[in-house]
Chain A
Amino acid sequence: MKIIIGVMLLTLDKAKKGQLVKISAITDELTRIQAIRFGISEGAVVTCREVVPAGPVVVSRNKQEIAIGRSLASAIWVEPC
């Protein structure tokens, strides 16, 4: 966890089920490009639908759900809201 100007950031794999989070940074460039197309860009608010133990994280935006592998989820920084 790191603190930037008083805002608490955590990686997506640490998010809780049902939590609403705002994507604040995606560290890998290729992932960032792919994620934008899936509707997950920096600044987007998504719901964490499911965190499969040791497995992928499922997030949703409106009606659409996307599964994100654990290693990828740990490279996506989010801000709880």
Chain B
Amino acid sequence: MEHRGTKAGSLGGGKKIVLAGNPNVGKSALFNALTGLYVDVSNYPGTTLDMTCGRYNGDVIIEAPGVYGLSSINDEEKVTRDIILAADIVVNVVNSLHLEQDLFLTLQIIDMGIPVVVALNMTDEVVQGGFQINVPLLERMLGVPVVSIAAVHGIGIDELKKKIFLARPGHTDPALSEKLNKLFSGISRREALLVIEGDAVISRYHGVEPGTGREAIYRARRQRVNLIVSQVVREINEDSRFADRLGRWMLLPVTGFPLLALTLWAVYELVGVFLAQSVIGFTEDIMNGYYVPAVRSLLDGIIPPEGVLNAILAGQYGLLTLIVTYLMGLLLPLVLGIFLVLSVLEDSGYMPRIAILLDRALTGIGLNGQAVIPLLLGFGCVTMAFITTRILGSDRERRVAVFLLALGVPCSAQMAIITAVLASVGAFYMLLYIVFMFSIIVCAGIVLGRFLPGGPSPLLIELPPLRLPGVRNVWRKAWRKSYQFIKEAFPIFAGGTLLLGILDVYGILHELRELLAPVTVSWLHLPEEMADIFIMGFIRKEFGAAAILSLQMMPLQKFVVMLTLSLTVPCIASTMVIFKERGWREGLVVWSVVFTLAFVIGGLATRLLEIWLV
């Protein structure tokens, strides 16, 4: 059933306290502060796409996805609407820096007659922003308790805890109340409001006609918000901060593209040079110089070196050797590095600015600037990025973004291996790889943009202030994501290796190799053993690529393997998410098209480069 109010209502005893507010106002930070759990905190709208629940003393705290209003414009609004309909208390989180926008939702919830307490967040930035908020007056005008907090820094949380249970219904629009009481006696007030605002789902549920007065009600509410803001906000000064100027430079092509190039160069220096070469060199030396020999000599003492078990545990694809070396020595430092970079981009507010800068360019490939967010996150983890495509405005854009992510965006683990492998064959191949991947994404985007019906939906996003990211939040987020990533990769990786080890020991691998020889040997001009890598890559792409380090091959061959593997769908987890997000039919189409394209392009690149280079 679409109407999920009852579902949120069956969470067990206690009151249901709902954290609601606009996107990017700090609901997640407050949720963390109240429950002691950790959910992602970023500086771009839409981090929370589903509801998150936690216990708070005897009660339940539910964090609703961020929305600008309640109706059925998109999925988040539907989810949030149903959570709020079932709420006992709403803690409305409001960003002090733009009351004008946020109070619209506040008044809508108040008009529903639900007990509310307003948490005025980011009060620490108000003074920097050059204005003051008269909190007691705001409290009087809204008719509900208002508490100043700074959730990320834990300020005001204790006071909020005291005031949560003082929540009460606020001052509603008298004209609106009268209309509500007159029209619907049988429907609860909260649902009645949504009915007269024209919500089709709620109206159908009660078997009444949806109202047509939405625009008039919105307009009246907007005027009330403007009145309140004009009374409670007082400007102190209007001087422009350095961050404001930098924020401007990021938007304009003349300065924005150089700044973006500079950022990407810094990222390359950190991840591609410092981590992929210096740090990895060090950790691999430790693993190969001390850890692997130690494990081998220890095992040889316990089980016979020629036995099957020994081969599985410490052979070429050894569970204790290859896996541990690869995960700890290679993957962890790089994945952590990439997630650190992404966390900084998220928290600083640079991400939406890149979206604006690239809006024009992305329109050319059938997307709008907002698509930059999932595409960039894909470099961290493609599986997570698939889920983030939900923030895009239309189904058409989600389709394009999912396809491009599946085809052309390598995740952090793959990038780790690609950087390591290509760094060993020289900068030329690295450049070639970037040129190839970039052209493929652009071509695929242009083709999709042209042939899918409809056009890109226009950009309409809020621009958060540019701020210096907090070291603690950046580190916590990057560490948590890397840990999850490795934790998730480990069993799949171990299982795959075990399977491969067993296949190898019993000679089945050899038969599979021969079966795949037409593709590997004839089409891609690679050694027969490369079939292993494609089989492993089917399980986890970077996992296949890891084995390549141990095979002797020509630089061109290494390049072709990297290219082909990068183009296929990253891992089993991401394949599952494609199916989940896009449905079985479309998922199957995306998946097989991507796979076919990967091998076709791989073979074509081989021929092209053989003519050019040899």
- B492 within 8 Å of A (CB atoms): no
Q: Classify chain A: how many residues form its interface, as a range.
A: 20 to 34
Which residue of chain A has the shortest Cβ distance to B221 in the bound complex?
A: A36
Which residue of chain B has the shortest Cβ distance to A37 in the bound complex?
A: B68
In the assembled complex, 20 residue pairs joining A and B whose CB atoms fall closer than 8 Å, in A order, are A32-B215, A34-B460, A37-B69, A37-B104, A38-B101, A39-B222, A50-B248, A52-B251, A52-B253, A52-B357, A53-B253, A55-B357, A62-B131, A64-B98, A64-B100, A65-B463, A67-B356, A69-B458, A71-B458, A72-B459
- A-B CB proximity, top 7 nearest: A69-B459, A64-B98, A69-B458, A72-B458, A65-B463, A37-B68, A55-B360
Give A43 Cβ to nearest chain B Cβ, in Å. Answer: 9
Which residue of chain B has the shortest Cβ distance to A34 in the bound complex?
A: B460
Give A57 Cβ to nearest chain B Cβ, in Å. Answer: 10
| A-chain residues with CB within 8 Å of residue B461 when the two chains form the complex | 66-67
| A-chain residues with CB within 8 Å of residue B73 when the two chains form the complex | 30, 33-34
Which residue of chain B has the shortest Cβ distance to A66 in the bound complex?
A: B462
Q: A52-B252, A63-B130, A68-B459 are in contact. List 16 more A-B contacts (CB 8 A).
A: A30-B73, A31-B458, A33-B218, A36-B104, A37-B68, A38-B101, A38-B462, A50-B251, A55-B356, A56-B459, A63-B98, A64-B98, A66-B462, A67-B352, A67-B356, A72-B459
| A-chain residues with CB within 8 Å of residue B368 when the two chains form the complex | 69
Complex CA distance for A18 and B104, rounded to whole angstroms: 26
- A54 within 8 Å of B (CB atoms): yes
Which residue of chain A has the shortest Cβ distance to B358 in the bound complex?
A: A55
Q: Is the CB–CB distance between A39 and B352 below 8 Å? A: no
Contact with A along B233-253 (1 / 0, CB 8 A): 100000000000000100111
- B359 within 8 Å of A (CB atoms): yes
Of the candidates B97, B219, B356, B360, which one forms a contact with A54 in the assembled complex, judged by CB atoms under 8 Å apart? B360
Complex CA distance for A64 and B226, rounded to whole angstroms: 14
Binding site for A on B (CB under 8 A): 68-69, 73, 97-98, 100-101, 104-105, 129-131, 214-215, 218-219, 222, 225, 229, 233, 248, 251-253, 352, 355-357, 359-360, 368-369, 458-463, 465
Q: Is the CB–CB distance between A39 and B460 below 8 Å? A: no
Q: Is the CB–CB distance between B360 and A72 below 8 Å? A: no
- A24 within 8 Å of B (CB atoms): no
| A-chain residues with CB within 8 Å of residue B218 when the two chains form the complex | 33, 36-37, 41
Give B117 Cβ to nearest chain A Cβ, in Å. Answer: 22
Given A32-B215, A36-B222, A50-B252, are A69 and B98 neighbors across the interface (CB < 8 Å)? Answer: no
Of the candidates A31, A39, A52, A67, which one forms a contact with B100 in the assembled complex, judged by CB atoms under 8 Å apart? A39
- A61 within 8 Å of B (CB atoms): yes
Q: Is the CB–CB distance between A56 and B68 below 8 Å? A: no
| A-chain residues with CB within 8 Å of residue B105 when the two chains form the complex | 37
Q: Is the CB–CB distance between A63 and B360 below 8 Å? A: no
Q: Is the CB–CB distance between A33 and B215 below 8 Å? A: yes
Give A46 Cβ to nearest chain B Cβ, in Å. Answer: 11
